């Protein structure tokens, strides 16, 4: 729970209160900002996308593994098709890298071919095709030479999940929405089947509509609203990230499918070439009783690497630069819940959002937008709505001429702070001046990537800390890594000035 307790929100009367600052809540806030309504998004963490939306592989799925009739299947092709336009508007890097599900068992090719035809012509996953092992090696020469065939889906893409979440929320804020971090919902008052009050650690608010996008805590929010008809059973998944030098081995998304083995409710992990040039390996899937169990265990990494080395033998644990664990929020039905309250009139649930929730988010947000406007009895369009978000300049991706012009305008762009990722002081200051300022080392890291490289901040973290302190006009001892308790330095030593 947040350490802060104040009355910053006391008496607020938003038309729509969105609970949860992940990809679901942020995308819904942005779509609702197309209307002239009062929008408040609250997130209990000190930044956006700190749970499932910032702890996944960033794959934009094709839907080859989903059954027709589910909400996941209904939304996945719609969401996948929207990614190009959405990411262009929001200034977020997105690439269609393609996916390969690889098979060693040649005898299974006729059966898998029939499965793919069903997916292509009946389930409308229209880019699905079977390719030979020879063609697979032509496309990805570092894959195992033992594969007999593979399922190919060229529409598969990759995106930075936390980057997209932040971009959605920033665009919502520039269009009039309000985002409050470090804000947890602690209770609700329900009268005559309607939510009349929502209590938070920042005061009591009085919304017309509540949108429950609280991830693993969505069942708690539903219970507060007297509308709990589902349960969440958390599932952990661990991913590893390699140095960019390993990124040259492949340029797509791939996994091995062993027909003799069951993978339960997971695709068994895979290898993904990220938009930043790294390889991401994972995740596994482990049931857990804890909703914030972000511990990472050696056996998880070993299990995934052992499996994925069968896909690409060149894969090596020596190339790992970091790893992380996320907790998904599946229901026992293993499908999304996107509907109005069953007992409580003025709540919309966006719950059970696990993979492929990142892919479906743009399409889900559009439908929830319609539901909310209808519940409000209609609304006027926001005349000043601008769908375009101007991204922070990326010096590392500019030509020498473009870089020289930026430095001429602002010399801070010529001062490189993070050598691994080639991040300038100017970019860090831009991140601190963004519409949703999170003046922590991790907040800056998520926005412009200092500390994301091979040394994992060993060189640049002290410099980033100093830049944040200068921005806040505060001593270094007041700068935090991510939240109130994450102290970086306690103060001056040996009689020195606290800024040294």
Q: Whose CA is closest to 104, among 217, 251, 259?
A: 259
- Cβ atoms of residues 282 and 269 within 8 Å: yes
Q: Which residues contact 352 (CB under 8 A, 6 or more apart)?
A: 218, 230, 232, 329, 330, 331, 333, 335, 336, 337
Distance between first and last Cα of the chain: 33
Question: Which residues lie closer than 8 Å to 392 by C-beta, 6 or more apart?
Answer: 427, 430, 431, 434, 447, 448
Identify the DSSP state of 239. E
Please state the separation of Cα 223 from the chain's center in Å: 26
Please give the positions annotated as active site: 61
**What span, in angstroms and rounded, lies between the C-alpha atoms of 385 and 36?**
9
Nearest 5°: the CA angle 34, 40, 46 is: 120
Is the previous residue joined to 283 through a cis bond, with omega within 30 degrees of 0? yes
Helices (H) and strands (E) in the chain, counts: 12, 23
Which 3 state secondary structure label does DSSP give 369? helix
Q: How far apart are CA 356 and CA 155, in angstroms?
A: 14
């Amino acid at each position: 729970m947040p350490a802060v307790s104040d009355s910053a929100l006391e008496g607020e009367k938003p038309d729509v209160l969105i609970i949860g600052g992940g990809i679901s809540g942020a995308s819904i806030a942005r779509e609702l900002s197309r209307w002239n309504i009062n929008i408040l998004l609250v997130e209990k963490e000190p930044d956006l996308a700190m749970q499932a939306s910032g702890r996944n592989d960033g794959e934009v799925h094709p839907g080859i593994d989903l059954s027709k009739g589910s909400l996941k299947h209904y939304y996945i092709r719609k969401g996948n098709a929207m990614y190009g336009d959405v990411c262009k508007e929001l200034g977020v890097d997105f690439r269609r890298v393609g996916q390969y599900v690889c098979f060693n068992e040649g005898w299974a090719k006729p059966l898998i071919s029939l499965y793919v035809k069903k997916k292509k012509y009946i389930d409308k996953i229209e880019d699905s095709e079977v390719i030979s092992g020879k063609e697979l090696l032509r496309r990805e020469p570092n894959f195992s030479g033992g594969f007999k065939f593979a399922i190919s889906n060229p529409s598969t893409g990759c995106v930075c999940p936390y980057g997209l979440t932040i971009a959605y929320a920033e665009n919502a804020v520039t269009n009039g929405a309000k985002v409050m971090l470090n804000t947890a919902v602690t209770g609700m008052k329900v009268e005559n089947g309607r939510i009349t009050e929502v209590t938070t650690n920042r005061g009591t608010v009085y919304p017309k509509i509540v949108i429950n996008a609280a991830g693993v805590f969505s069942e708690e929010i539903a219970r507060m609203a007297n509308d709990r008809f589902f349960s969440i059973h958390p599932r952990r998944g661990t991913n590893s990230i390699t140095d960019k030098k390993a990124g040259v081995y492949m340029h797509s998304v791939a996994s091995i499918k062993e027909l003799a083995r069951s993978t339960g409710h997971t695709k068994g992990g895979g290898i993904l070439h990220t938009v930043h040039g790294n390889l991401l390996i994972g995740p596994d899937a482990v049931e857990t009783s804890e909703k914030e169990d972000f511990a990472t265990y050696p056996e998880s990494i070993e299990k995934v690497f052992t499996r994925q080395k069968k896909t690409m033998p060149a894969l090596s644990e020596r190339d790992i630069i970091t790893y992380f664990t996320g907790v998904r929020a599946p229901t026992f039905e293993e499908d999304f819940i996107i509907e109005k309250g069953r007992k409580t009139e003025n709540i919309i649930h966006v719950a059970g959002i696990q993979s492929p929730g990142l892919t479906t988010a743009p399409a889900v947000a559009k439908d929830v937008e319609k539901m909310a406007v209808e519940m409000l009895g209609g609304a006027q369009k926001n005349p000043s709505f601008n769908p375009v978000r101007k991204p922070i300049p990326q010096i590392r991706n500019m030509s020498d001429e473009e870089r020289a012009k930026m430095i001429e305008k602002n010399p801070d762009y010529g001062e490189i702070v993070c050598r691994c990722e080639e991040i300038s002081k100017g970019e860090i200051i831009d991140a601190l001046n963004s519409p949703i300022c999170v003046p922590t080392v991790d907040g800056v890291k998520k926005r412009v990537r200092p500390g994301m490289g091979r040394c994992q901040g060993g060189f640049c973290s002290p410099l980033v800390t100093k830049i944040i302190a200068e921005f806040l006009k505060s001593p270094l001892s007041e700068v935090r890594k991510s939240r109130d308790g994450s102290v970086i330095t306690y103060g001056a030593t040996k009689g020195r000035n606290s800024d040294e």
